């Protein structure tokens, strides 16, 4: 059932069988997907939310990078395998207050670095549509648990696509808000100028309901914006009549499989039939987004991750012979291969002599990309394209080739570089595997994305299809 249905049944006093108990049992039933790092049955059973709270009694999971007081928060890393936060992230507080019930913490790529959920220190996650395939990353556990019908929604974080890409691979809806719309307080930092919390659910309507609770200014995050939150539920009914949707040529570029292009074009024609106007737009700098992102994100990561030194918190090497040995071995033992690769890349591009050639350059490209979007949005309300170049790939297929893995992010990272909101919507199937349509909005125009998403889902049933591995 959708989050909305569950909450309204609860308000009407008609919830049976109890959805939290059902979710806990379902989580056990899909244990082989390896989508959960921690199950918190006790905590879930302790929740006694008021029946009139907006998400009352709705079971969900948090990606394991949101700090949960008293419940370990690993960020998919051995470094934080035993870290029990002394405080809650802002969105953890807000969702609890809204009555939603966390049943546990979802598996993820270590420190949210990855596109396949194969970088987790707790092992890879399988895709419920085909367990030989990846669920996408880095919010792979979150996506798999929604797609497997265990929970109504899940939180995620999106630095370069980590909400939208796994949503696309798992046939669900994923929403990445504008940078600054949702507080980052208590969300373990990867690349602070790109990170934004998001939501994965089965429908745009459910994403709207959850974002309504998560969004809003937080004095504890200086980058969270003081600006009223629109009424997303009301926005769902706005429709798309007369809405101008820019079909972005480079999002249908060379690396995008033909079948994906055709599938997404067909989904766009549904929006056209609902009254939207499709026009061509160009984003000429988009092909530069991968190199720019993979300089900026590692640079920020190398700085953020310097806090894990074995002294303050996190993994500490045993029997250290002095401070340098403690730093070196704690980090060598605590971090996985991909995280080390990012720290090395980031340290390199920030070092004197290379800073101008790489980091400053990447920041200039970032500006060009943001300008491209600004120019395009002068003529259209939304920009559309496939979320990913292809459907979910096989486990192990890209692990030996980091550049091939990075290239899979070509359609998502530009959105983060420009700080914009975007949604990934189920848009059909290719060989039985889900494809995603990505819609990108102007900054703080989340409402229009919900309107378009709901319009599409009112006239299609792709989002209602259940994965073969889902609990029924």
Active site residues: 63, 138, 162
| Beta carbon of residue 81, minimum distance to ligand GLN (angstroms, whole number) | 20
Measured from the CB atom, the residue of 176 and 463 that comes closer to ligand GLN is 176
User: Got the DSSP string for 271-339?
Assistant: HHHTT-EEEEE--TTGGGHHHHHHHHHHHHHHHHGGG-SSSSSS---SS-SSHHHHHHHHHHHHS-HHH
Specify the DSSP class assigned to residue 155. Answer: E
| Beta carbon of residue 213, minimum distance to ligand GLN (angstroms, whole number) | 22
Tokens of 69: 């007081």
Measured from the CB atom, the residue of 57 and 336 that comes closer to ligand GLN is 336
| Beta carbon of residue 304, minimum distance to ligand GLN (angstroms, whole number) | 12
Is residue 62 within 8 Å of 105, Cβ to Cβ?
A: yes
Measured from the CB atom, the residue of 57 and 156 that comes closer to ligand GLN is 156
Q: Name which of 89, 51, 93 is nearest 73 in CA terms.
A: 89
Determine the distance from the C-alpha atom of residue 132 to the mean position of all C-alpha atoms in its chain, rounded to a whole number: 22
Question: What are the φ/ψ torsions at residue 154 (nearest 5 degrees)?
Answer: -145, 150
Measured from the CB atom, the residue of 189 and 210 that comes closer to ligand GLN is 189
| Beta carbon of residue 341, minimum distance to ligand GLN (angstroms, whole number) | 10
Measured from the CB atom, the residue of 195 and 209 that comes closer to ligand GLN is 195
- CA separation for the pair 397, 355 (Å, rounded): 33
Is residue 436 within 8 Å of 463, Cβ to Cβ?
A: no
CB atoms within 10 A of CB 262: 13
Q: Name which of 394, 444, 392 is nearest 422 in CA terms.
A: 444
Rounded to 5°, the CA angle 255-261-264 comes to 135
| Beta carbon of residue 387, minimum distance to ligand GLN (angstroms, whole number) | 12
| Beta carbon of residue 309, minimum distance to ligand GLN (angstroms, whole number) | 23
Q: Name which of 198, 208, 288, 205 is nearest 250 in CA terms.
A: 288
CB atoms within 10 A of CB 32: 9
| Beta carbon of residue 404, minimum distance to ligand GLN (angstroms, whole number) | 12
Maximum Cα interatomic distance, the chain, rounded to a whole number of Å: 69
| Beta carbon of residue 164, minimum distance to ligand GLN (angstroms, whole number) | 9
- CA separation for the pair 59, 11 (Å, rounded): 15
- CA separation for the pair 308, 316 (Å, rounded): 9
Specify burial of residue 267 (Cβ count, 10 A radius: 0-12, 13-18, 19+): buried
Measured from the CB atom, the residue of 99 and 160 that comes closer to ligand GLN is 160
Chain residues in the site for ligand GLN (CB under 6 A) = 112-115, 138, 157-162, 190, 297, 409
Measured from the CB atom, the residue of 142 and 263 that comes closer to ligand GLN is 142
Measured from the CB atom, the residue of 64 and 409 that comes closer to ligand GLN is 409
Specify the DSSP class assigned to residue 358. Answer: I
């Amino acid at each position: 059932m959708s989050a909305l249905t569950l909450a309204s049944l609860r308000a009407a006093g008609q919830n049976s069988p109890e959805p939290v108990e059902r979710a806990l049992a379902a989580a056990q039933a899909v244990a082989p997907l390896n989508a959960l790092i921690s199950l918190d049955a006790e905590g879930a059973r302790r929740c006694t939310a008021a029946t009139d709270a907006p998400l009352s009694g709705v079971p969900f999971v948090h990606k394991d990078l949101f700090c949960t007081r008293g419940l370990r928060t690993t960020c998919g890393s051995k470094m934080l395998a035993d870290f029990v936060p002394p405080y809650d992230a802002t969105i953890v507080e807000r969702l609890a207050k809204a009555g939603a019930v966390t049943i546990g913490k979802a598996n993820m790529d270590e420190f949210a670095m990855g596109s396949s959920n194969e970088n987790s220190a707790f092992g890879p996650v399988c895709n419920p549509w085909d367990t030989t395939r990846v669920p996408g990353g880095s919010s792979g556990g979150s996506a798999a648990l929604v797609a497997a019908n265990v929970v109504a929604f899940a939180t995620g974080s999106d630095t370069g696509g980590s909400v939208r890409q796994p949503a696309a691979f798992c046939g669900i809806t994923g929403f990445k808000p504008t940078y600054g719309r949702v507080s980052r307080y208590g969300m373990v930092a990867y690349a602070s100028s790109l990170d934004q919390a998001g939501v994965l659910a089965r429908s745009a309507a459910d994403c709207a309901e959850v974002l309504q609770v998560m969004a809003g200014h937080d004095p504890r995050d200086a980058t969270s914006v003081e600006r009223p939150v629109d009424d997303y539920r009301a926005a769902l009914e706005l429709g798309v009549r007369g809405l101008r949707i820019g079909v972005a040529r480079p999002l249908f570029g060379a690396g995008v499989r033909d079948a994906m292009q055709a599938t997404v074009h067909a989904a766009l024609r549904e929006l056209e039939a609902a009254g939207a106007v499709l026009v061509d737009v160009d984003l000429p700098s988009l092909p530069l987004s991968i190199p720019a992102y993979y300089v900026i994100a590692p640079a920020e990561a190398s700085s953020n991750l310097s806090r894990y030194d074995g002294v303050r918190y996190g993994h500490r090497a045993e029997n250290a012979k002095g401070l340098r040995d403690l730093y070196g071995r704690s980090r060598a033992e605590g971090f996985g291969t991909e995280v080390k690769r990012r720290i090395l890349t980031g340290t390199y591009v920030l070092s004197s002599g290379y800073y101008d050639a790489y980091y400053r350059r990447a920041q200039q490209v970032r500006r060009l990309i943001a300008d491209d979007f600004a120019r395009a949005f002068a003529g259209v309300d939304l920009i559309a394209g496939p979320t990913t170049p292809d459907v979910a790939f096989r486990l192990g297929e890209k692990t030996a080739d980091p550049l091939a893995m990075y290239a899979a992010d070509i359609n998502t990272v530009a959105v983060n570089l420009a700080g914009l909101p975007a949604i990934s919507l189920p848009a059909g199937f290719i060989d039985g595997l889900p494809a995603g349509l990505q819609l990108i909005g102007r900054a703080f125009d989340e409402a229009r994305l919900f309107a378009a998403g709901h319009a599409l889902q009112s006239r299609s049933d792709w989002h209602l299809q259940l994965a073969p591995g889902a609990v029924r």
